[in-house]
A = this chain, B = another copy of it.
């Protein structure tokens, strides 16, 4: 009835569309997401999707940020900072392994949405709280995210992943005033 109720209604529809798109992506990768197939699954014409979403690319951007948003963020002070950083790296890597189409999408266009920003911001906060300078915390975010993404894309086996991450964390720790 009220005018303010209209916007949420519309984004509800969009949420259903993004959920269905995510299902198609997880089932068969990026080439499985087709406007016609997505329409079929929602009982709608492919053309009708363009009322809710501006393009297939737009849909991929929305799907990407949705998935970033589902990556768990551990408590900032619950564990020693090294363990927390390791956990965040592992969460990111396993998220990318569960949704390989996200790697494909990232290679086609830069995908930074609010949920990714939130993840990186959290990682930086973990490092700063632990005594790293802001500069080194920024270093940490870039190095850890880079390695986690690389590990997912290269399908790097587990033990090799741990070694690389721990080397990077050691490199960061060496820069703290207190040392380790």
Contact = CB atoms under 8 A, between A and B. Distances in A.
Given A104-B104, A170-B170, A170-B171, A160 B147 contact: no
Interface stretch (A18-26, A59-67, A106-114): A106-114
A155 interface: yes
Interface string A145-171: 111111101111100110110111011
Nearest to A164: B143
A106 B155 CA distance: 10
Nearest to A172: B167
Interface string A81-102: 0000000000000000000110
A138 B171 CA distance: 21
B143 A167 contact: yes
Contact of A171 (B100, B101, B107, B166): B166
Interface of A: 29-31, 100-101, 103-104, 106-108, 110, 138-139, 142-143, 145-151, 153-157, 160-161, 163-164, 166-168, 170-172
